[in-house]
Chains A and B, each alone.
Chain A
Amino acid sequence: MSESYYYCGFEIKSSFDFPELERSFSTGDVPPISICSGDVKIPDRAELTRGPNWAVGVKEAYWWLDDIAKFRIAADGITVDAMPNAPTGLVRALTLEAPMIIAMQYRDAFCLTVSAVSDGKTVTAFRFLPGGGSSTAAAWQVCRKGPLSIVSDTLLRISSDDSGQPIAWPQGSGVLLWPKSQKLLGLEKHAKLEVRPELPLARFRLEDTRFPLPLKTIYTAALYRRLEASPQDDQNIVQARRPFRFSALRTAGRLWIDPMGRTPQHFAWCLAIARYCKIRTASFEGLYD
């Protein structure tokens, strides 16, 4: 039995349930990515480039988390080999991160690790340090400022239209929030989905954007001084250098792109973002006024 879900502009055909995903988003005409259960053995082949929990080649990759699950990933789909006692919510959440990032990269589809919102016409993204409150910032815009809607929480897939304009695809998996943020946003009584029983982190479905829209601006926090502050000279030389550097560094799964042989495609993707998008430093007042 196979169910269809939407994720980052793709249709997922999965042999197990994804309660965190929905179906009613626009995907265009792209072949689905399959997700199924099966045995996965990590091969010891020299052509795979290895990291601490991954082995990536030109056509297939392996990703694992000890005691939780192993994944085999190719362009057409993902095989999941979960350990018997692994928390199912965690296995699902992991599947939607690294293995999906790799599967999308095999299709030359790249994501930024950002939260994002839209006003129905364009998309604005937020990228702070991991753990720095990007999700909260995006949720705040939707809950307190409006009329805005969530585009992404962790992964923002970006493609280009015919003119080269970067197009941001809704992620479609809601927003993950910790209790402090839930309280800040007044969401304590809002419907939520537990990620795993060991953590108070919960997934919320707020107002969603359901169609791809142009990406215009990316906000980073002042914590990003190394990316943000230096570049008086950047602005004087080439205005697009900052967004290029940002997109190159903040591409989800960037360490895997070279071993896959996708560097030229990634370079072109970064250029498209650099040409059309602005990087701005977020101020506390600007975000939370």
Chain B
Amino acid sequence: METCWLASYPKSGNTWFRIFLANLLFPNVAPVDPNNLPISNLIASARAPFQEIFGFSSSLLTSEESARLRPSIDAFIARDWSGQVCLRKAHDAYTTLPDGRPLMGGPPQFRAIYLLRDPWDVAVSAANHWDLSIEETVNRMCNEQHKHHHAHDINEQFPQHLLSWSQHAQSWLNSPLEVCLIRYEEMHSDAMRAFGKAVKFLGLEYDDKDIGTAIQASEFNRLQRLESDEGFIETPRTNTTFFRKGIQGEGLSILTPGQLTRLRRERAIVEQVIQDLDDHS
């Protein structure tokens, strides 16, 4: 089966989108429990499938050696996928391995929905999620070399090559994959259009009524209430929340003028790429 990545820089609506998709695909259990989604939660960087598929612990390999094996894991997972659509979360940028192969696969076996969120709002949300200051988060988002990496430790995920915020978006939008761009802001302001576009891209046959019902079941306020009442498995620490505010433009009033200038520069680069792609098509 073909794999569609649900790719995004962290804190850009990836989880929210998967909850929508779960509500769409499984209306009989909607609204779904975010802690127990009936669709796969398998992120591209997860270590868990490595051990299962290759039969040994990835901790025995360097991060470069592990990365070389990741395309084989993704191909194997797609081969045995039993759901309607093999949609998998990814925060890695679209990069190539030292031997020239793409880490995240090539067409036609792989496609992508790319979720793009205004970087100043990402910064506020990511700072909370990563437990960093806004300044440290903005530095990360503007760092071309940035990757989540643990040289002297290990955790449940492989190091993720994020690059800078603009390079992350560019890497996917300019990749050889067929990419459907969805803006987080539109998921709020015109949910039917944004989610409908993604559903069409995935080749799923649902009408506006089905999509509208799934959107309603995935309302952000409801997810916040659920997290408050029952907790959420992806909440990073006990004293914070995952579904924080989800409002547009929050970062504009929180970031300093200097931080905003840097992120506006990042944003301008990406908007130019989108413009160029639109002109080309």
Contact = CB atoms under 8 A, between A and B. Distances in A.
Interface in B41-57: 41, 46-48, 50-57
Given A179-B153, A225-B233, A229-B36, A51 B53 contact: yes
Contacts of B73: 52
Contacts of A53: 54-55, 69, 72
A71 B184 CA distance: 49
A131 B157 contact: yes
A97 B56 contact: yes
A101 interface: yes
A113 B51 contact: yes
Contacts of B72: 52-53
A193 interface: no
Interface residue tally on A, bucketed by range: 35 or more
A198 interface: yes
Contacts of B53: 51-52, 255
B62 interface: yes
A225 B55 contact: no
B35 interface: yes
A121 interface: no
B130 interface: no
A130 B60 contact: no
A62 to B, nearest CB: 12
Contact of A230 (B36, B69, B76): B36
B156 interface: yes
Contacts of A230: 36
A6 interface: no
Nearest to B73: A52
B152 A94 contact: no
Contact of B55 (A97, A130, A201, A223): A97
Nearest to B72: A52
A82 to B, nearest CB: 14
B227 to A, nearest CB: 13
Nearest to A179: B152
A222 B54 CA distance: 25
B110 to A, nearest CB: 16
A180 B152 contact: yes
Contacts of B157: 131
Contacts of A52: 53-54, 69, 72-73, 75-76
A196 B55 CA distance: 19
A87 to B, nearest CB: 10
B65 to A, nearest CB: 9
A113 B60 CA distance: 15
Interface in B136-180: 151-157
Interface string A178-215: 11100000000000000110111100000000000000
B60 A132 contact: no
Contact of A54 (B55, B62, B154, B156): B55
Contacts of B57: 97, 130, 154, 176
A98 B35 contact: no
B22 to A, nearest CB: 13
Nearest to B71: A52
Nearest to A95: B56
Contacts of A132: 155-156
Contact of A131 (B41, B54, B156): B156
B241 interface: no
Contact of B155 (A93, A101, A131, A252): A131
Interface string B69-111: 1001101100000000000000000000000000000000000
Nearest to B40: A226
A130 B56 contact: no
A255 B50 CA distance: 12
Contacts of A196: 60
B58 interface: yes
B43 to A, nearest CB: 11
A10 interface: no
Contacts of B50: 130
A140 B58 CA distance: 22
10 contacts: A52-B54, A53-B72, A54-B54, A54-B55, A131-B154, A178-B59, A178-B154, A180-B153, A198-B62, A199-B60
What are the nearest 5 A-B pairs in CB distance? Answer: A98-B55, A52-B72, A97-B56, A130-B47, A129-B156
